[in-house]
Amino acid sequence: MVKDNASIVRRFAEEVITQGDMDIAAQFVWDDVVEQVPFPGQGPGLEGLKDVLRGMRAAFPDLDFSIKEQIAEEDKVASRFEWTGTHHGEFLGVPKTGKQVRVWGIVIDRLEEGRIKDTRIIMDIFGLMMQLGVFSPPAS
């Protein structure tokens, strides 16, 4: 079951996030999924999650979300990820810059009956904002 949970999370990342197939998101995520650390303005449940993902894909149409490592234990899966994309639309209030970005993070998903029931994502938003030119990197 643990290995299956890791595979479910990988498939969700590839098919829904990278490929953008929001129509199949409910195969991987419960309608009442709880995002423990929601994006600013994120609505509740699966629809809120899909709205965030649509916004990311609109801002970064070439978004490629890749899981680099996973640890699965009982009903939880921790995934270290990296995503890349080119900033072609507003994201988190930042107008398009045309810049390419590489962002790392970790997500911990808890699954019930083969679907994600709650999730928490920790993503390097500060690093993203530096890459988009919102903040200058510290002088060395």
Q: pLDDT tens for residues 23-55?
A: 999 999 999 999 999 988 899 999 999 999 999
Q: What is the pLDDT at residue 94? A: 96
Q: Domains (ranges, CATH) in the chain? A: 2-131 (3.10.450.50)
d(CA 128, CA 30): 29
Q: In this structure, how many other beta carbons lie within 10 angstroms of the beta carbon of residue 138?
A: 6
Whole-prediction pTM:
0.92
Decide if 102 contacts 124 (C-beta within 8 A).
no
Mean pLDDT, the chain, rounded, equals: 95
**Residues contacting 103, CB < 8 A, separation 6+:** 82, 83, 84, 123, 124, 127, 128, 131
Give the per-residue pLDDT at 78: 98
pLDDT: is 40 or 124 the higher one? Answer: 124
Residue 65 confidence (pLDDT) above 80: yes
Q: What pLDDT, on a 0 to 100 scale, did the predictor assign at position 139?
A: 79
